[in-house]
Amino acid sequence: MTTIKLTFLGTGAAIPTLKRGHTTLHIQYLGGSGRSILFDCGEGTQTNLIRAGINFMGIDAIFITHWHADHFIGLYGLLNSMGLEGRQKPVRIFGPHADKIGPKLLEFYKFPYAIEYYDTYRDGLVYNGEEFTIEAAKLKHTIDNVGYRLIEKGRLKLDKKLIKQIGLSGLECKELKENGKVTKNGKKISLKDVSYKVPGKIFVYSGDTVYQKKMEKFAKDADILVHECTCFTKDDLQDKMHSSFEDILKLKGFAKKVYLVHIGRKYQSHEELQKEAAIYKNIFFAKDLEKIEI
């Protein structure tokens, strides 16, 4: 059974506080060959990776939602540390127009490993791996921003009742999983005959955006939706092209759980924020270094 571990490395907005650093997320996919992925990379990312006990050398890819400094400024230190530690495996950086913006941002740095850039400014598939896919959605902010939707590929699970009826042993079940078929008492049994498909887990991250109705479809059926919540009320937004807690309430029915990040610095008390959210059973204000499993 696969597990997706999500660590909130930072949960604050553009100006960090002692309690909240720049919004940055880490996904550890435990299944198959495993994957270690960053979503955004704000200031202090590598320090909080160390605090969280995450090996930054294992990071496979970095998905940037948009090119505001609080979402990418941590790249410089992180990539430099990887080089100092002798990294040789390429780092893949995904983001809106990353193929053009990325090389310019890092042109004064020479790394002992390759950096590959991939543009994600579109609606649709931007990554297709063995274990999961990642889709992007163009969302409205002051500059080009995308949200990301990680979708684990469905997998086949053996039907225990059928397995028992047929009388397959543990070794025969192993052979069935590995080869897709097995012979029992002279009869060929295929994997599809004694299994059913289990839908994969879904994780969605908004980046910075005003509330848009298209997020309802993008967040639909997500196990976890991580959405920005710069201000608590719409009055506090003042046309900042961000989202408020009032906006998030429109999305709470589309995902199983909603975690709020990119919290403005005026909201210093996490307890007070969570108290306001407590009446909604599936909405939570995330904290720096908080870990959850999907």
Tens digits of per-residue pLDDT, 191-231?
A: 888 887 888 999 999 999 999 999 999 999 999 999 999 98
Q: 231 and 104 in one domain?
A: yes
The pLDDT of residue 1: 64
Percent helix, strand and coil across the chain, each rounded to 5? 25, 35, 40
Query: Do residues 44 and 38 make contact, with C-beta atoms less than 8 angstroms apart?
Result: no
Single out the residue in 170, 196, 222 at which a domain terminates: 196
Q: 168 and 24 in one domain?
A: no
Q: What pLDDT digit, counting tens, does each position of 249-286 carry?
A: 999 899 999 999 999 998 888 888 888 888 999 999 99
Q: Which residues form the domain of 237?
A: 3-154+199-293
Of the pLDDT bands very low, low, confident and very high (cuts 50, 70, 90), residue 174 is confident
Lookup: tokens for 282: 């599936």
In this structure, of 12-21, 141-150, 238-247, 253-262, the range with the lowest mean pLDDT score is: 238-247
Q: 281 and 235 in one domain?
A: yes
Q: 173 and 32 in one domain?
A: no
Single out the residue in 166, 196, 226 at which a domain terminates: 196
Q: 274 and 165 in one domain?
A: no
Q: 273 and 138 in one domain?
A: yes
Q: E strand or H helix at 7, and its extent?
A: strand 3-10
Q: 113 and 171 in one domain?
A: no
* Between 175 and 18, residue with greater pLDDT: 18
Residue 152: Cβ-neighbour burial (10 angstroms; 0-12, 13-18, 19+): buried
Q: 249 and 127 in one domain?
A: yes
Q: 109 and 190 in one domain?
A: no
Lookup: tokens for 257: 């759980």
Query: Do residues 137 and 147 make contact, with C-beta atoms less than 8 angstroms apart?
Result: yes
What pairs with residue 182 in β-bridges?
189
Q: Could you tell me which of 213, 168, 212, 227 has the C-alpha nearest to residue 193?
A: 168
- 173 CB contacts (<8 Å, ≥6 apart)? 158, 163
Query: Do residues 93 and 76 make contact, with C-beta atoms less than 8 angstroms apart?
Result: no
Q: 101 and 228 in one domain?
A: yes
Is pLDDT of 236 > 80?
Answer: no
Q: 207 and 267 in one domain?
A: yes
Q: 126 and 50 in one domain?
A: yes
73 phi-psi bin (left φ>0, alpha ψ -120 to 50, beta other) = alpha
Q: How many domains does the chain have?
A: 2
The pLDDT of residue 63: 99
